Amino acid sequence: MRVDLKSMTMEELSAYIKSCGQPAFRAKQIFRWLHRGVRRFDEMTDLPKAFQQKLEQEAYITTLRQFERYRSSIDDTVKYLFELPDHHLIETVAMKYNHGYSLCISSQIGCRMGCAFCQSTKNGLVRSLNAGEILDQVLKAQEDLGERISNIVMMGIGEPMDNFDEVIRFLKNVNDPEGINIGYRHISLSTCGVVPGIMKLAEHEFPITLSISLHGTTDEARSATMPINRKYNLQSLLEACRKYQEATGRRISFEYAVIEGINDRYEDAKRLASLLKGLLAHVNLIPVNPIEKGRFKPPKRGAVMAFQQQLTDLGLNATIRRTLGSDISASCGQLRHKHLEKEVDHHENYR
């Protein structure tokens, strides 16, 4: 079987180069080409021809194909549907901020976490992405935008902790000074609350920002929409957050999708404040994006602002997430879902 070079860390690539009987410096040469977006061995002009040919036979370079691209006419958000080598589709979103582009990337095709409000999980998990496929989202977006990506958020399709090893490889690679070189402080990783994953990530001590999708303030409420809470309850989740903070010293971000009449009452604000007591935390309020008619409605803007004010008065640091790309279905999983539906229609036409 041919080996996937783009998924290898520098260390792994060095070991592979050694096994080919090549001098050690070739690993750095290849790593640099790969991470500059070169996708053919004959373009790696500082490698001997014979070695290029050997790589051609023994290795491959994971490449995504831009399947569709949408640019928001409201803001500069760009949403990509990328096609993987096995023809599945994933989403990547580039959001323009004053400091540059922030890229929201996917870690899996679909998701098996089953959160009730989330589109990405509706059709279950197809498979996890490998590190090269995660990385190529960044390379492809940079190529298309003609600009460097300055921040990464792992908040696209999938649960990063359910694809732990490949996500770790990706983090090391995207941070590598010989590669794209994005500082860990410019990377966020979001989880629905897979406690063992949080503990393992803490061991790596990467100074990335950990984001926790909280969305509820009691076990009962959280378990009703997030099945993961039945396995790892709020107490164990917050305990893991404390340990993570001790290990990394980093502030933790808590995502809170505000749902009218469900988690936006004053009791919720009070419970949230008591849950996060003693943690260096930031609460990111997201008016819920309704994926089905009737269920999970966002509160009116004024009510979200009032909830934010309550949290602030209780001593929490809370902001309301800016809505970007609302005209291009930029929320996680929406485009892929639309596409899957189109495929079903298409299929049915042929019956």
Torsion on CA atoms 345, 137, 183, 282, rounded to nearest 10: 0
Is there binding between residue 192 and ligand SAH (CB under 6 A)?
A: yes
Rounded Cα–Cα distance for residues 206 and 183 (Å): 10
Q: Any catalytic annotation for residue 332?
A: yes
Residue at 162: amino acid letter: D
Site track for ligand SAH across 98-127, x = CB under 6 A: ---------------x-x-xx---------
| CB of 14 or CB of 190, closer to ligand SAH | 190
Q: Is 130 helix (H, G, I), strand (E, B) or coil?
A: coil
- Give the residue with the Cβ less far from ligand SAH, 133 or 255: 255
* Residue nearer to ligand SAH on the CB measure, 41 or 80: 80
Among 130, 137, 190, 217, binds ligand SAH (CB under 6 A): 190
- Residue 9 binds ligand SAH, judged by CB under 6 A: no
The answer to the question of residue 248 lying near ligand SAH (CB under 6 A) is no
By the rule CB under 6 A, 306 interacts with ligand SAH: no
Least distance in Å: CB of 101 to ligand SAH? 18
Distance CA 295, CA 11 (A): 48
151 sits near ligand SAH (criterion: CB under 6 A): no
What is the amino acid identity at position 347? H
- The answer to whether residue 260 is catalytic is no
Q: Does 30 bind ligand SAH (CB under 6 A)?
A: no
User: Binding mask 257-296 vs ligand SAH (x if CB under 6 A, - otherwise)?
Assistant: x----------------------------x-xx-x-----
Give the residue, chosen from 14, 77, 213, 217, that forms a contact with ligand SAH under the rule CB under 6 A. Answer: 213
- Asked if 262 and 208 count as a contact pair (C-beta separation under 8 A), the reply is no
Question: DSSP label at 35?
Answer: H
Cα gap 126→109, rounded to integer Å: 5
Q: Smallest gap, in angstroms, from Cβ of residue 54 to ligand SAH?
A: 39
Candidate list 75, 133, 136, 255; residue touching ligand SAH; CB under 6 A: 255
Among 91, 159, 166, 268, binds ligand SAH (CB under 6 A): 159
Q: Per CB under 6 A, does 304 bind ligand SAH?
A: no
Tokens representing 335?
Answer: 């485009």
Q: Of 22, 47, 21, nearest to 34 (Cα)? A: 47
Selected catalytic residue, list 12, 91, 159, 260: 91
Q: Is 208 in the site for ligand SAH (CB under 6 A)?
A: no
Element housing 256 (H / E): strand 252-258
Which residue's structure tokens are 């849950």? 275
Task: Rule CB under 6 A: say whether 168 interacts with ligand SAH.
Answer: no
C-beta of 156: minimal distance to ligand SAH in Å?
7
Options 104, 115, 192, 332, the catalytic residue: 332
Least CB distance from residue 250 to ligand SAH, whole Å? 16
Rounded to an integer, what is the distance from CA 156 to the centroid of its chain?
A: 4
Helical H segments across 75-120, by residue range: none
User: 60 to each of 190, 247, 344, how far by Cα in Å?
Assistant: 30, 37, 32
Determine, following the binding rule CB under 6 A, whether residue 175 of this chain makes contact with ligand SAH.
Answer: no
Phi-psi sector, 158: left (phi>0), alpha (psi -120 to 50), beta: left
Pick from 213, 217, 207, 195: nearest CA to 284: 213
Size of residue set near ligand SAH by CB under 6 A: 17
138 belongs to the binding site for ligand SAH (CB under 6 A): no
Q: Token digits for 172?
A: 């090391």
Residues whose CB falls within 8 Å of the CB of residue 49, separated by 6 or more in sequence, listed in order: none
Rounded to 5 degrees, φ, ψ at 327 are: -85, -5
Q: How far apart are CA 79 and CA 92, in angstroms?
A: 6
Nearer to ligand SAH, 8 or 105 (CB): 105
Q: Which residues are designated catalytic?
A: 91, 332
Name the residues that contact ligand SAH, by CB under 6 A: 113, 115, 117-118, 155, 159, 190-192, 213, 255, 257, 286, 288-289, 291, 332
